[in-house]
A and B are shown apart, each in its own frame.
Chain A
Amino acid sequence: MTELYIEGDPIRDEKAPEGPIEQRWDKRRFSAKLVNPANRRKLSVIIVGTGLAGASAAATLGEAGYNVKSFCYQDSPRRAHSIAAQGGINAAKNYRNDGDSIYRLFYDTVKGGDFRSRESNVYRLAQVSVEIIDQCVAQGVPFAREYGGLLDNRSFGGVQVSRTFYARGQTGQQLLIGAYQALERQIAAGSVEMHTRHEMLELIVVDGKARGVIVRDMVSGEIETHFADAVVLASGGYGNVFFLSTNAMGCNVTATWRAHRKGALFANPCYTQIHPTCIPVSGDYQSKLTLMSESLRNDGRIWVPKEGGDTRDPREIPEEERDYYLERIYPAFGNLVPRDIASRAAKNVCDEGRGVGPGGLGVYLDFADAIKRMGRSTVEAKYGNLFDMYQRITGENPYELPMRIYPAVHYTMGGLWVDYDLQSNIPGLFVTGEANFSDHGANRLGASALMQGLADGYFVLPNTINDYLADGPFEKVDETHPEAKEAADSVRERIDTLLSINGTRTVDSFHKELGHIMWDYCGMERSDEGLRKAISRIRELRDEFWQNVKVTGTNEELNQALERAGRVADFFELAELMCVDALARAESCGGHFRAESQTEDGEALRNDAEFAYVSAWEFAGTGQRPVLHKEALEYEYVEMKQRSYK
């Protein structure tokens, strides 16, 4: 495989303290250098992205007295895609007195991540989770409550305790609005300077330190240079490399990819989470996929016809000709197996030609039994809003006809490599939220993305970034500095190139084709052969893109085609690295299933002896083979086990 990558020196996280796990975060907070309030005014921080991780960090650092510059590509920081999270946020409050604890949340998360995350980070996440809920309630987040006025909890994603706090099906929205309001308060106070409709297109590294960003004003097209003492990337995940995903249309990898090209390591890019209960694709015009809460699997039964090509009305297919395949294969967990298993099983039955709906890419999620058992009104009370959403999108009535569902790309566990301080290997470059790789290992549990985003932004980063900033303010640089000039020039050049190709294919047509390649070969099941095929096809398509893409208009205007072109160009490079990473990891773990690594009955087979490490990739230059640095993972507290749900 050396024709695809080179193995470099191993790396390790130097920042996580030793000692008992429950004391490590305290130790680190104590050892981190502080910045006195008067000096904070002289220090500046750039934060890219205003989702949970970015907005909370900007607000908190602004409150602390730093000069913050915040950037988002949307027209308002409130629109970041954290807003779309439905389910909830975990916290080890143990308000239910059901045996929950910080240790249990830590344990569940490490296990859920299929033993590919760091114990120290995950323990800290569980510790901080408790404070998040307090903070959000104080901000006025209207979590669901019981009649007694206390907070309600529900259980989520296969854990045995109820530790998920929620606000109907709109928890992400409510948490983000809370962070957004805190951010707006700091904007009004003058401590945060907000730049909406600005997209980061390059990182500026001076003397080895991250010192600024090049952004494009998406309204005027102006290429601006901004400097600071530290740069925080909170720019989200890269699921849109698949074109169709549950991500927002604008979600992209450009900020982190540009940093990667400037030297930041990209960790575990192949770990993607595919969510089993999404509304299937209805035609090739489809622009995005919509998730429906996993809670539907609590009462709905998943099935396909036993025979392929059965086009009868599902209601006319008799019981004995239906295959309730999850209940058949996993009698212990049935329809409630974890996300990755449910997704792969759906793919398998569709690959066998038994899928339903247009293109045969769908399985039934049937509430007929639930309606018979509980009555329609109970089902309506429990799932009414989801049924309405389904009906609005598909035009079918799920009370009458079984829903059709299919898996869709939902979350990316991989991201820029960071240490315990959330600092990348480039000093001064910090990465938070979904943009980093840190806490979820190979698979993320439900209701923990919101937890991580807010933990990073409210509590972790503001306690670690000071250790770096204490050495500042750093040497003053301006636009005439060679590194800044080079960065700005390269951005302009790239834009000019994209605008001058004037080929025959639209950006979206390339993006869709790239998405198909990724979905087919780097989706729910990956194989050596398929990944190699994908890599060569990605390269061909990328070459065609740079020769034949058509971007109309100019730079000096709002030009949405140009914005997308730049993002897709970066997706091409990321896609290749994802495939290389997937190829290098010849084991199955979490969201990464390698066809070559499975048990006799088709379950994922992890290989701890050879692959218990984080793959951190170094960019070696355009057209050069990437360099793999391995960070060994050690488990002192949780014993490594194979998962089984049979």
Chain B
Amino acid sequence: MNITLRVWRQKGKADEGRMVTYKVEDVSPDMSFLEMLDVLNEKLTVSGDDPIAFDHDCREGICGACGVVINGVSHGPEVTTTCQLHMRSFKDGDTIDVEPWRAKAFPVIKDLVVDRGSFDRIIQAGGYISAPTGTAPDAHAAPIPKTDADRAFDAATCIGCGACVAACPNASGMLFTAAKVTHLGLLPQGQPERAARVVKMVNQHDEEDFGGCTNIGECAAVCPKGIPLDTISQLNKDLLGALATGNL
């Protein structure tokens, strides 16, 4: 296949960026999207041009490092991570637009690489259970109904890639925040900090300049891990409960 790429190039944080067009020839349909970029980068390097910078690591869809907006959709046309997207999802002769996640809370560092430190700071604000090493009771001390454990697990599969923010018209980080609130809030171990957690995490979310939730569900629709939209409802419920009981 032959592909035309329009890629966002931006030298550094403070520089202006622009879309640049590249041709990539002899693309195998079995290549992953990132391998196609590798091939382009090899060519650019040999000809003395700066290769395109993009984040990636495990390339098996679990670390959450990779992620670009492809033809306007986070992670592209399949609901999966960019590293698990393969070129067979495109046609010979296609023009593909490749852009970084765009949000105030995710400033571009270079080309397609953005700074997602804001997500870490949301977790720092309260996305944990305080259980210092060595203080734990026996693992069987508190049985957890399977349905709760499963739902907590589903929420806990979030990989923190940021696709939800990139897809949200308001650049809200609510699905990410809600996934953690739901994961920890459903477990008995998470109860003591439940009310304080949701308030602190939402405050941090707002402080990081994420937008408010639109409730339109674009986030869940592009989530490679299928984090359901109702986790945001769960977060709202917890938040209202917390506010009602005076956790401000």
Q: Do chains A and B touch in the complex (CB under 8 A)?
A: yes
Q: How many residues of B contact A (CB 8 A)?
A: 78
- Please, what's the 1-or-0 string for B130-144, where 1 marks a CB less than 8 Å from any CB in chain A? 111111111110011
> Cβ of A332 < 8 Å from any Cβ of B?
no
> Cβ of A159 < 8 Å from any Cβ of B?
no
- Please, what's the 1-or-0 string for A68-80, where 1 marks a CB less than 8 Å from any CB in chain B? 0000001111111
Determine the chain A residues whose CB is within 8 A of the CB of B119 once the complex forms.
76
> Cβ of B208 < 8 Å from any Cβ of A?
no
Determine the chain B residues whose CB is within 8 A of the CB of A143 once the complex forms.
149
Determine the chain A residues whose CB is within 8 A of the CB of B44 once the complex forms.
552
In the bound complex, CA of A565 to CA of B145 (Å): 50
Interface contact A138-B131, CB-CB below 8 Å = yes
User: Which of A468-476, A531-539, A556-564 binds B?
Assistant: A556-564
Q: How far is the CB of B186 from chain A (nearest CB, A)?
A: 8
Determine the chain A residues whose CB is within 8 A of the CB of B32 once the complex forms.
287, 393
In the bound complex, CA of A75 to CA of B117 (Å): 7
B133 in complex: contacting residue of A59, A173, A250, CB < 8 Å: A59
Which partner residue on chain B sits nearest A504 by CB separation? B46
Determine the chain B residues whose CB is within 8 A of the CB of A93 once the complex forms.
139
Determine the chain B residues whose CB is within 8 A of the CB of A394 once the complex forms.
30
- Please, what's the 1-or-0 string for A605-646, where 1 marks a CB less than 8 Å from any CB in chain B? 000000000000000000000000000000000000000000
In the bound complex, CA of A185 to CA of B120 (Å): 10
Determine the chain B residues whose CB is within 8 A of the CB of A184 once the complex forms.
120, 123-124, 127-128
Q: How far is the CB of A431 from chain B (nearest CB, A)?
A: 19
Determine the chain B residues whose CB is within 8 A of the CB of A146 once the complex forms.
146
- Please, what's the 1-or-0 string for B87-107, where 1 marks a CB less than 8 Å from any CB in chain A? 010000000000000000000
> Cβ of A311 < 8 Å from any Cβ of B?
no
Interface contact B59-A185, CB-CB below 8 Å = no
In the bound complex, CA of A62 to CA of B21 (Å): 48
Q: How far is the CB of A464 from chain B (nearest CB, A)?
A: 14
- Please, what's the 1-or-0 string for B30-46, where 1 marks a CB less than 8 Å from any CB in chain A? 11101110110010111
Tally of A-B Cβ pairs under 8 angstroms: 218
Q: How far is the CB of B172 from chain A (nearest CB, A)?
A: 19
- Please, what's the 1-or-0 string for A296-322, where 1 marks a CB less than 8 Å from any CB in chain B? 000000000000000000000000000
Size category of the A interface is: 35 or more
> Cβ of A404 < 8 Å from any Cβ of B?
no
Interface contact B60-A288, CB-CB below 8 Å = yes
With contacts A140-B183, A142-B183 taken as known, whether A459 is within 8 angstroms of B133 at the C-beta atoms is yes
> Cβ of A125 < 8 Å from any Cβ of B?
no
Interface contact B131-A135, CB-CB below 8 Å = yes
With contacts A74-B57, A557-B11, A558-B110 taken as known, whether A285 is within 8 angstroms of B143 at the C-beta atoms is no
Interface contact A182-B128, CB-CB below 8 Å = yes
Q: How far is the CB of A251 from chain B (nearest CB, A)?
A: 8
> Cβ of B213 < 8 Å from any Cβ of A?
no
> Cβ of B221 < 8 Å from any Cβ of A?
no
In the bound complex, CA of A150 to CA of B133 (Å): 22
- Please, what's the 1-or-0 string for A139-150, where 1 marks a CB less than 8 Å from any CB in chain B? 110111111111
8 A Cβ contacts from A574-594 to B: none
Interface contact B35-A135, CB-CB below 8 Å = no
A138 in complex: contacting residue of B39, B46, B150, B189, CB < 8 Å: B189
Q: How far is the CB of A551 from chain B (nearest CB, A)?
A: 8
User: Which of B153-161, B163-171, B228-236, B237-245 binds A?
Assistant: B153-161
> Cβ of A201 < 8 Å from any Cβ of B?
no
B115 in complex: contacting residue of A75, A78, A133, CB < 8 Å: A75
> Cβ of B56 < 8 Å from any Cβ of A?
yes
Determine the chain A residues whose CB is within 8 A of the CB of B145 once the complex forms.
145, 147, 149
Interface contact A134-B55, CB-CB below 8 Å = no
Can you name 10 extra interface pairs (CB under 8 A) apart from A93-B139, A138-B135, A184-B124? A81-B63, A133-B139, A135-B136, A147-B146, A149-B144, A188-B125, A196-B117, A283-B28, A287-B34, A550-B45
Query: Could you list 6 examples of A-B contacts with CB < 8 Å?
Result: A93-B139, A139-B128, A142-B187, A182-B131, A182-B133, A184-B127
